[in-house]
Structure 1
Amino acid sequence: MAEQEYDLIVVGSGAGALLGAIRAQEQGLKTLVVEKTDLFGGTSALSGGGIWIPVNYDQQNAGVKDDLETAFSYMKRCVRGMASDDRVLAYVETANKMAEYLRQIGIPYRAMARYADYYPHIEGSKPGGRTMDPMDFNAAKLGLDALETMRPGLPSTQIFGRMSMNAFEAHSMLSREFKSRFSLVGIMLKYFLDYPWRGKTRRDRRMTGGQALVAGLLTAANKAGVEMWRNAPFKELMQDASGRVTGAIVEKHGQRTEIKARRGVMLGAGGFERNQQMRDQYLNKPTKAEWTATPVGGNEGDAHRAGQTVGAQLHLMDWSWGVPTMDVPMEPAFRGIFVERSLPGCMVVNAKGQRFLDESGPYPEFQQAMLAEEAKGNGGVPAWIVFDASFRAQNPMGPLMPGSAVPDSKLHKNWLNNVYWKGETLDDLAAQIGVDAAGLKDSARRMTEYAKTGKDLDFDRGGNVFDRYYGDPRLKNPNLGPIEKGPFYAMRLWPGEIGTKGGLLTDREGRVLNTEGQIIEGLYCVGNNSASVMGPAYAGAGSTLGPAMTFAFRAVADLVGKPLPLENPHLLGKAV
């Protein structure tokens, strides 16, 4: 068995893993990153790239006021006791320091002044400013060779699957702001006029969202001299007689390689959502790996099981970062439906043709509502998103571009009755998708009436600042529109996710705890590989990437013997 030695081994190559590797290398630790698949970036590369950073450096520029105690109390209420107070406080105190570090290594972010926390009804929430979006990144800084080793983004985050747009532009377009038409023209012109770059690669030079974040991290990793292996599956952890983790066994070129780690191993290999056996063991039913929106070939729980082997404690294993998904032919993973469901003129129904949730609410709650509806026997899996001809003409939905730009006649022929269903009447549509026609017609009638009054009497859709972010501000209620003009359309939704929440339980330094609550020396864990500091909640957009990188930042401080102390210990145990 071949043998090598480093100071730190990092398993995985998502945002948390990469930031930890960069920081460690810059602090003088010889660091190795091992990635199971043939592409770097993990699920982070497919994400929106947002980070939830309370009291961040750009809030003042965005005209947002925030303070640490308010942010801590909000997050503490969100987690409902499923994450320790000191971990929550460590996150709130350190998140901005991590964001500042990102800026220092060439990945600046800006606060989204109008993107609200996910739970406006919880005291301490803010109507905007805590979520940050990465600034655009020039792919030329990474270089073409390195770009080919990075996981590409999702077609759903690009215009016509090719041209990048950032979160600000996407919001402007979906909410029909006047300036959006000029933004769209500018994006297209910039792309098509960039002949030198387009002659070398199909990928847009202008990288946004998760692509900007990961490209920036890979550029920084290369600059720092981090050694990185692809196609190198992690197999198991090594321990000495005292139980300290001393390295890892990795498969490289088909050979098991024993790698020693003088300081420790950091696990950042994502969740277990691609492992059907673990899904069956831990997650609520029904559950299928094919419904997930994360990369095929990764996130199979390898590092979870390796951690268990050395005595690690698991926590939150029955929770996931849920999102409704749909199957789109030729796309490698199911597509998450994040924002289109907020647009006015659509509704989601169960097998009885009845609405059962606020379609514009947070996506984890959306997924949980689908599972709950199924458990009640009402047929929530699959659910159906239904809209009429007016909505179809004006709005995107999943892979469907607005009908005014791409009419039905131009869609792939095999998408009909596969990706979307179409009926001249609601009775016809109901028969095709197997839902109760009377219930469907009544739901459409009620939605049409609510659009006129501006008040959803069933689920108060559009009744809070979070709902209204992705809506049409010209309407009485930005999220309500009539469903009355044929032909009518339906698309099938599954209870998918962008990752699982459960994993190895860690302390505030990212150190893994055993089943007795004691530290396993030499073992750290971040991201979806660890039990989420957010507990069952999703405090705001960026609640996955923000903690992943923040606890990697704290873990490296501990690795080099300079742990970050809590600055406000007086808040611990304080009632909220």
Structure 2
Amino acid sequence: MLAKDKKYDLVIVGSGLSGSAAAAQAGLNGIKTLVLEKGHTTGGTGNYVEGVFAVGSKLQKKRGVKLTQKYILDEERNWTHALANMAVWRNYVAQAADNIDWLEENGVKITQMRTLGTGDDTWHLFDGHGKTAINEGLLPTAKKNGVEVITSAQAIRLTVDNSGKIQGLIIKDLDTDKEQFIEAKNIIIATGGYLNNEKMLNSNSNHNGNRIIPVNSGKNNGDGLKLAWSIGAKHFGMGTVMMFGGQVYDPTVPGYKNWMRQSNRAATYEAELWVNEKGDRFANEDCTDIWAIAGNTLIRQEKVYAILDQKQIDELSEHSFKGNYNYDHLKQDIEDDLNDQKPYLTEADSIEALAKKLNLVNLPENIKRYNHLVAEKEDTDFNKEAKYLHAIEKDPFYAFELGIGAFCTMGGLRTDVKNRVLDNNGDAIPGLYAVGTDGSACLVGDTYGVNVPGSEAGYCIYSGRNAVENLIK
């Protein structure tokens, strides 16, 4: 679809959570705005967001949660090893409670608040996830106030004048391949990062990009970053991925299809034995409550397998080892996986046969060692709690190959406290802003931590609003 007009005050590239927040704020401020969405529907990966961070909100106060802004800032400075831009964090945290009120004023329902794993009580959950927040709250607010939203429209080139100021951009109607030049003095990049671009994942980090399993819209291929880089934006903060730990490795289907299956949770969450491509154990497997730690633990191996025996499957079917999770369909999931010849699941009647099938040359020796630790009720190798030590001795034996699940990347562009995009000299490119995932390098070091749950999604709201308010000034 092409735009109705040829000139706008602002063009927002992307209609995910950050782009929709920017669109709503722009509409409320009476800015003539165009939102471009390359997909056929709006929302992108933002549709899957569960909730956003806040501290000092009315809901927190009602619940008696006594977190302070100083505590959050100290937590993030320490977690990021001071690599984050704490000036951005300071402003973001100070506005977080007001952003919850703003969301509710603009049609977004916040239903409850909770933590995630071992994190703090900061996660404010949407009614209906981000899909409802975006498509029944933020974008209707934007459209009601004159913002134009078009789909199947991709930005393919930014244009600048001789002084480097934004002039506009060229867009393409993906249904007809027709192009159109749009004049605009301000452009906000909100395209959601590069999680679906394996080449960029591999070239910008030590991650094994082929083992990262995106659980997202499938459209985040780095095109917004490339637009900004093409006019001189600094390559900055690449390589940080919001990893949520193990995910059964099945490159034949989208990641979300396996995410909620009981066989996936059993293989990735319950602190079973993990071995690498040689069949060697390499970590304390009880790290899954902190997603980022689990992800970092898994990504450094070339391959990872979770090894379970039939006794563990039987016991999990009766009760979870680590929480109140229901595994009443676990045996059926495994039977279905075997019948469907799922690439991540291998079964054998002996450990030796399992090792031979997967070329895990050290597996028999490591199983023997692990069973000895179980018998001694003390993991002197990696210090896993004794209650999570389960012998592997009853056939059949199962090996689940694990990839690393991920929701988004973080980084690509350097931005300042106004969400302006900076060049290699640290100067702002006049008229160019980046928000949400594209502009989130300022939040992290090498790891996104779920110690403060919802902080990336909350930043989508904050940065979208912040960019618009600053471009007005």
Tell me which interval the TM-score lies in, with the shorter structure as reference length: 0.7 to 0.9
Question: 1:18 and 2:20 equivalent?
Answer: yes
> What residue identity is the alignment partner of 2:165?
R
Q: Give the counterpart of 1:427 among 344, 348, 352.
A: 352
> What residue identity is the alignment partner of 1:257?
Q
Query: Structure 2 CA distance, aligned partners of 1:352 and 1:305?
Result: 38
- Rate the CA distance shift 1:344–1:413 in 2: closer, same or farther, 3 A: closer
Structure 1 vs Structure 2 CA RMSD: 3.2
> What residue identity is the alignment partner of 1:86?
A
Which residues in structure 2 correspond to 1:390-429 (within 5 Å)?
390-393=311-314, 394=316, 402=327, 404=329, 407=332, 411=336, 415-416=340-341, 418-429=343-354
- Rate the CA distance shift 1:88–1:445 in 2: closer, same or farther, 3 A: same
**How far off its partner does 1:250 sit?**
0.8
In structure 2, the partner of 1:131 is 123
Which residues in structure 2 correspond to 1:441-452 (within 5 Å)?
441-442=367-368, 444-445=370-371, 448-449=374-375
In structure 1, the partner of 2:148 is 227
Query: Structure 1 CA distance, aligned partners of 2:369 and 2:193?
Result: 37
**How far off its partner does 1:416 sit?**
3.2
> What residue identity is the alignment partner of 1:131?
W
Question: 1:526 and 2:435 equivalent?
Answer: yes
> What residue identity is the alignment partner of 2:401?
R
**How far off its partner does 1:66 sit?**
0.8
Question: 1:558 and 2:452 equivalent?
Answer: no
- Rate the CA distance shift 1:54–1:357 in 2: closer, same or farther, 3 A: farther
In structure 2, the partner of 1:247 is 168
Spell out, residue by residue over 1:461-511, the C-alpha distance to the aligned partner (whole angstroms, 9 max, x if none). 56xxxxxxxxxxxxx85x555544432222111245322222111111211
**How far off its partner does 1:345 sit?**
5.8
Spell out, residue by residue over 1:121-164, the C-alpha distance to the aligned partner (whole angstroms, 9 max, x if none). xxxxxxx3122222x3xxxxxxxxxxxxxxxxxxxxxxxxxxxx
- Rate the CA distance shift 1:347–1:97 in 2: closer, same or farther, 3 A: farther
Q: Give the counterpart of 1:367 among 292, 295, 301.
A: 295
Query: Structure 1 CA distance, aligned partners of 2:133 and 2:394?
Result: 42
Question: 1:498 and 2:407 equivalent?
Answer: yes
Which residues in structure 2 correspond to 1:106-117 (within 5 Å)?
106-109=107-110, 112-115=113-116
In structure 2, the partner of 1:332 is 254
Spell out, residue by residue over 1:543-562, the C-alpha distance to the aligned partner (whole angstroms, 9 max, x if none). 3212122111211221232x
Q: Give the counterpart of 2:447 among 529, 534, 537.
A: 537
Query: Structure 2 CA distance, aligned partners of 1:448 and 1:235?
Result: 58
Query: Structure 1 CA distance, aligned partners of 2:237 and 2:189?
Result: 17
> What residue identity is the alignment partner of 1:260?
E
Question: 1:256 and 2:179 equivalent?
Answer: yes
Query: Structure 2 CA distance, aligned partners of 1:275 and 1:97?
Result: 35
Q: Give the counterpart of 1:282 among 201, 204, 220.
A: 204
In structure 1, the partner of 2:39 is 37
The 8 Å contact of residues 322 and 498 in structure 1, kept in 2 or not, is answered as yes
Question: 1:547 and 2:459 equivalent?
Answer: yes
Query: Structure 1 CA distance, aligned partners of 2:82 and 2:334?
Result: 53
Query: Structure 1 CA distance, aligned partners of 2:369 and 2:417?
Result: 48
The 8 Å contact of residues 345 and 387 in structure 1, kept in 2 or not, is answered as no
In structure 1, the partner of 2:396 is 487
Query: Structure 2 CA distance, aligned partners of 1:415 and 1:370?
Result: 26
Say which SS state the counterpart of residue 115 (structure 1) adopts. coil
In structure 2, the partner of 1:170 is none
Say which SS state the counterpart of residue 321 (structure 1) adopts. strand
The 8 Å contact of residues 274 and 290 in structure 1, kept in 2 or not, is answered as no
In structure 1, the partner of 2:64 is 63
> What residue identity is the alignment partner of 2:400?
M
The 8 Å contact of residues 38 and 231 in structure 1, kept in 2 or not, is answered as yes
Query: Structure 1 CA distance, aligned partners of 2:26 and 2:355?
Result: 57
TM-score (structure 2 length as normaliser): 0.84
Unaligned runs of 5+ in 2: none
Spell out, residue by residue over 1:86-108, the C-alpha distance to the aligned partner (whole angstroms, 9 max, x if none). 11211211222222211222223
In structure 1, the partner of 2:193 is 271
> What residue identity is the alignment partner of 1:43?
T
**How far off its partner does 1:53 sit?**
2.4
- Rate the CA distance shift 1:408–1:115 in 2: closer, same or farther, 3 A: closer
Question: 1:46 and 2:48 equivalent?
Answer: yes
In structure 2, the partner of 1:5 is 7
Query: Structure 1 CA distance, aligned partners of 2:457 and 2:91?
Result: 16
The 8 Å contact of residues 448 and 484 in structure 1, kept in 2 or not, is answered as no
Query: Structure 1 CA distance, aligned partners of 2:225 and 2:298?
Result: 27
Say which SS state the counterpart of residue 55 (structure 1) adopts. coil
In structure 2, the partner of 1:350 is 276
Query: Structure 2 CA distance, aligned partners of 1:409 and 1:366?
Result: 23
Which residues in structure 2 correspond to 1:562-573 (within 5 Å)?
none
Query: Structure 1 CA distance, aligned partners of 2:72 and 2:393?
Result: 43
Query: Structure 2 CA distance, aligned partners of 1:211 and 1:351?
Result: 39
The 8 Å contact of residues 275 and 289 in structure 1, kept in 2 or not, is answered as no
> What residue identity is the alignment partner of 2:355?
A
Q: Give the counterpart of 1:512 among 410, 421, 425.
A: 421
Spell out, residue by residue over 1:195-238, the C-alpha distance to the aligned partner (whole angstroms, 9 max, x if none). xxxxxxxxxxxx3x344444444444454453222211111112
Which residues in structure 2 correspond to 1:141-152 (within 5 Å)?
none
**How far off its partner does 1:79 sit?**
1.9
In structure 2, the partner of 1:193 is none
Query: Structure 2 CA distance, aligned partners of 1:520 and 1:446?
Result: 62
> What residue identity is the alignment partner of 1:19?
A
TM-score (structure 1 length as normaliser): 0.70
